[in-house]
Amino acid sequence: MIFPEALFKEKTNIMYILGISAFYHDSAACLVKDGNIVAAAQEERFTRKKHDMNFPAKAIEYCLKEAGITINDINYVGFYDKPFIKFERILYSAFQYAPIGIGMFLKAMPPWLKQKLFTRKVIHKELKYEGELLFTEHHESHAASAYYPSPYTDAAIITVDGVGEWTTTSYGIGEDNKITILSDIKFPHSIGLLYSAFTYYLGFKVNSGEYKVMGLAPYGKPKYAHIIFEKLVDLKEDGSFKLNMQYFNYGAGLTMTNSKFDTLFGDKPRKSESKLTQKDMDIASSIQFVTEEIMLRIVKHVYKLTKKKNLCMAGGVALNCVANGRILRESSFDNIWVTPASGDAGGALGTALFIWHQYLDNKKVVIDNKDKLSGTYLGPSFNSSEIEKFLIENKANFIKLENSELPGKIADLISEEKVIGWFQGRMEFGPRALGARSIIADARSKNMQLIMNQKIKFRESFRPFAPSVLEEHVSEYFDIHQESPYMLFVADVAKEKLTNFSDNQDDKCGLDKLNVIRSEIPAVTHVDCTARVQTVNRDENPLYYDTIKKFYEKTGCPVIINTSFNVRGEPIVCTPEDAFKCFMRTNMDYLILGNYLLEKEEQAELKNDIDWKNEFELD
Amino acid sequence: MAKISIIRELWDFMKVRKKFWLAPIIVVLLLLGILIVFTQSSALAPFIYALF
């Protein structure tokens, strides 16, 4: 028999840590219970405002609800960076570039004086929390988000992003429960900012359009790489680098590049939404190539220095899955693990785990060589009664499928070239949809890439789609020989699966390359015959796995398209309502919400929804 | 109260970072910054990294 006192004691011994990232971009919250990640979510999913930077009140509310606790049960709150050091950088930059920096200073000051300098007070006030509040450095948070959830107890760590407080790139080691940062590169010398400068120059939004540059790169050739290395980047043998700030304006101004940069590349920055030229594609290809070369050199140096077998990576640049693919193939590390929430949202996870392991000195345990992210399914879920209630209230026509018949039915629909909104279980944490909030379709279809881009996602035609593949079949279809559950590595499509497209077709330029059928799975084969692979295993997501398996049994193909459940500019759907609206507004054919299947043709039109395309600002 | 504690926090910060040379700059820039805040109704920082 357990005495009530014993129960009480056990309860009070539980340690809850709440991690927060906020006020810059991608606000998020993460709750850790005795070192285990209970919940994590980005604020944008709740507020429906992409990259929402406000205090993550709704994400925190969700995390507490998921654990069944209140703020009074929290032992520590962690914030993912140190605002004062960041403030120091901004003052220093304004001073250094004076009087030119006055414009930047004038814009930067108000949010700092109104809110960011008072981050401590704001957090206490918003949370109604009087307990301990700790601040970890930005790159410590990234390093922690990379190492602590990883399946290693001994690893090298690399973090690369735009900028934190001062640091833009760092490397170190993780041994047992301790992280040691060995070296860093400081602002304004930054790979992330270099990539963002080109993103800006190519007419895409900084901080959200970088993945478009990555997607555009294979349409071009790296003709300008030598200019970038000669004029913009001084790259050393050990991977350290300096940017030539004469060509950039982000140190002191309100743009990323300046007129000298324009002269170097022979044009002003491309206007947003204007036609993409071959030159744009060549520039995208060049900066992608340069980024890969810098990353590879850093990785090689870190290996030489640390001699670790394992490598963990985080930071916004670690979401460059083309570079990650090259690191996987070309570096000497045996194993590489990239945290799926590599951007600033992951800082919430990092700071919470940093407090648990580094500050409170708790052991890091790895069980069965598995990471601690549970497939990143760390967000909200909705049970059958909640979904059914919503559907009835909204007069939706639906049928209910049993768990046993769901995979077969969905596999049939995919094979009939139907596009399906897939809403199952807990939402993913991080920027990728991984089979919880996804749009899925047939990867074998010749027209599906175009249909999905233009009629479902309403986005640029050049952008590729990613495949989900049964883990045991990954090497048959792609040149990758390890699991890739978080869609963070790009690999070549296996030679055996490529079709014999002629040299004449391969010579096509620019967006004409899109119209060439290159493999047995053309909808997920990018123009350079690569794909951003997600491997699916039954342990992490049984329903998704079973559905692909049924599709495989029916068609002989273990690969389907998986893209995020949203339209351009919209955060990935969170609730059944978000999913239903997105389904009704686009040309998706079916929606599977838990066990409930909806066919588009059976639904009445959404009322009062005429202006929805203006609801989300284009990214 | 918050304003006083922030001054104390900034002072502690300069002590830890050994950056006392920042003090006059902080004072001047803060005064200038406060002026900016009071002379405009709304302000949104442009969406570029360096400001963060």
**Residue A156 pLDDT greater than 90, yes or no:** yes
Does B29 sit within 8 Å of A94, measured CB to CB?
Answer: yes
What's the rounded mean pLDDT across residues B44-48? Answer: 45
Chain B residues within 8 A of A52 when measuring between CB atoms:
none
The pLDDT value given to residue A30: 98
Output the CA torsion sign for A60, A66, A72, A73. Answer: negative
HSE-CB for B43 with a 13 A CA cutoff: 22
Contact A114, A107 (CB under 8 A): no
B50: in domain: no
Residue A298: predicted pLDDT: 98
Q: Is the pLDDT of residue A559 over 80?
A: yes
Cβ contacts (< 8 Å) between A165 and chain B: which residues?
Answer: none
* B48:A109 CB<8 A: no
Closest partner residue to B37 (CB to CB) among A85, A113, A193 is A113
Are A86 and B52 within 8 A, CB to CB? yes
Residue B22 domain flag:
yes
pLDDT at A506: 65
Report pLDDT for A317: 98
8 Å CB contact of A104 and B5? no
Q: Of A491, A461, A489, give the one whose Cα is nearest residue A475.
A: A491
CB contact under 8 A, B13 and A114: no
Chain B residues with CB under 8 Å of A255 CB are 48
Evaluate if residue A609 carries a pLDDT over 80: no
Q: What are the phi and psi torsion angles at A507 (to 5°)?
A: -80, -5
List residues bridging with A309 in a β-sheet: none
Q: Is B16 on the interface with A (CB under 8 A)?
A: no
* Burial per residue of A8-19, b for 16 or more beta-carbon CB atoms within 10 angstroms, e otherwise: eeeeeeebbbbb
Chain A residues within 8 angstroms (CB to CB) of chain B: 24-25, 84-86, 88, 90-95, 104-114, 117-118, 120-121, 162-163, 187-188, 190, 192-193, 196, 200, 205-207, 250-251, 254-256
Asked if residue B4 belongs to a domain, the reply is yes
Q: Determine if residue A48 is left, alpha or beta; phi over 0 gives left, psi from -120 to 50 gives alpha, anything else beta.
A: left
- How many angstroms away from the CA of B14 is the closest CA of chain A? 9
Chain B nearest-CA distance from A165, in A, is: 8
Q: How far is A162 from chain B (nearest CA, A)?
A: 7
ipTM: 0.71
Measured between CB atoms, does B4 come within 8 Å of chain A?
no
CATH C-level class of A186-338: alpha beta
What domain range is B5 assigned to?
1-30
A25, A93, A110: residue with CB nearest B36 = A110
Q: In sequence order, what DSSP letters do the residues of A179-241 get, joined into one string?
A: EEEEEEEETT--HHHHHHHHHHHTT--TTTSHHHHHHHGGGS--TTHHHIIIIIEEE-TTS-E
CB spacing of A196 vs B5 below 8 angstroms: no
Task: Tell me how many degrees the CA angle A554-A374-A14 measures, rounded to the nearest 5.
Answer: 155
Write out pLDDT tens, residues A242-253: 999 999 999 888
Q: What are the structure tokens assigned to A146, written together?
A: 């990379």
Burial A383-421 (b: 16+ CB within 10 A, else e): eeeebbebbeeeebebeebeeeebbbbbbebbbeebbbb
Any A CB within 8 A of B46 CB: yes
- Our CA-based measurement puts residue A37 at a distance from the nearest CA of chain B, in whole angstroms, of 28
Q: How far apart are CA A140 and CA A315, in angstroms?
A: 10
Kindly report the average pLDDT of chain A as a whole number: 94
Contact B36 A192 (CB under 8 A): no
The DSSP symbol for A335 reads E
Rounded Cα–Cα distance for residues B29 and A483 (Å): 52
Q: At A18, phi and psi to the nearest 5?
A: -105, 120
Radius of gyration of chain B (CA): 13
Q: Which residue has the higher pLDDT, B41 or A591?
A: A591
Query: B34 contacts in A (CB within 8 Å)?
Result: 113
Judged by a CB distance cut-off of 8 A, whether residue B49 touches chain A is: yes
pLDDT in tens, A375-423: 999 999 999 999 999 999 999 999 999 999 999 999 999 999 999 999 9
Most A-contacting residue of B3, B38, B52 (CB-CB within 10 A), to test interface: B52
Of the pLDDT bands very low, low, confident and very high (cuts 50, 70, 90), residue A254 is confident
Asked whether A477 and A493 are in contact (CB, 8 A), the reply is yes
CB < 8 Å to B48, chain A: 196, 200, 206-207, 250, 254-256
pTM equals 0.93
> For B15-31, how does the pLDDT look when each residue is reduced to its tens digit (9 = 90+)?
888 888 878 877 877 77
How far is residue A86 CA from its own chain's centroid? 24
Which band of pLDDT confidence, cut at 50, 70 and 90, is reported for residue B45? very low
Distance CA A396, CA A390 (A): 9
- Looking at domain A4-142+343-367, its CATH superfamily turns out to be ATPase, nucleotide binding domain (3.30.420.40)
In chain B, which residue's Cα lies nearest the Cα of A85?
A: B13
- Residue to mutate among A107, A123, A138, A196, with most B CBs inside 10 A, is A107
Q: In angstroms, what is the C-alpha Rg of chain A?
A: 24
pLDDT in tens, A87-130: 999 888 888 888 887 777 878 888 888 889 999 999 999 999 99
Is the predicted pLDDT of residue A36 greater than 90, yes or no? yes
Cβ A106–B36 below 8 Å, yes or no?
Answer: yes
**Percent of chain A as helix, strand, coil, to the nearest 5:** 40, 20, 40
Q: Do B5 and A121 touch (CB under 8 A)?
A: yes
Q: At what angle do helices A191-201 and A278-306 cross, to 10 degrees?
A: 170
Taking only the tens place, the pLDDT of each residue in A510-530 is: 888 888 899 999 999 999 999
For A511-610, where are the E strands, in sequence order? 530-536, 559-564, 590-593, 596-599
CA distances from A387 to A12, A167, A410, A423 (A): 35, 45, 18, 11
Q: For residue A241, is pLDDT > 60?
A: yes
Query: 3-class SS at A257?
Result: strand
- Residue of chain A with shortest Cα separation from B4: A118
B1, B9, B14, B48: best mutation site toward chain A, by most A Cβ within 10 Å?
B48
Q: How far apart are CA A398 and CA A601, in angstroms?
A: 11
Q: Which amino acid is at A246?
A: Q
Indicate yes or no: CB of B37 within 8 angstroms of CB of A114. yes
Number of domains in chain B: 1
pLDDT band (50, 70, 90) for residue B3: low
- Amino acid code (one letter) for B5: S
B17 found inside a domain = yes
How do the domains of chain A map onto residue ranges? 4-142+343-367, 186-338, 384-614
Phi and psi (nearest 5°) for A97? -95, 5
**DSSP 3-state assignment of A259?**
helix
Asked if the A384-614 domain carries CATH number 3.40.50.1000, the reply is: no
Shortest distance between the Cα of B18 and any Cα of chain A, in A, equals 12
Within-domain flag for B46: no
Instruction: Give the model's pLDDT for residue A1.
Output: 41
Per-residue pLDDT for A143 more than 90? yes
- Contact in structure between A75 and A131 (CB atoms under 8 Å): yes
A591 to chain B nearest CA, in Å? 35
Distance of alpha carbon A443 from alpha carbon A441, whole angstroms:
6
Q: Do B10 and A84 touch (CB under 8 A)?
A: yes
Measured between CB atoms, which of A91, A190, A256 is closest to B25? A91
Q: Would A4-142+343-367 and A384-614 be classified into the same CATH topology?
A: no
B45–A206 CB contact, under 8 Å: no
Q: Which of A85, A91, A107 sits opposite B45 (nearest CB)?
A: A107
What value does the mean pLDDT take over residues A9-17? 74
Q: How far apart are CA A532 and CA A488, in angstroms?
A: 7
> Contacts of residue B13 in chain A, CB cutoff 8 Å?
84-85, 88
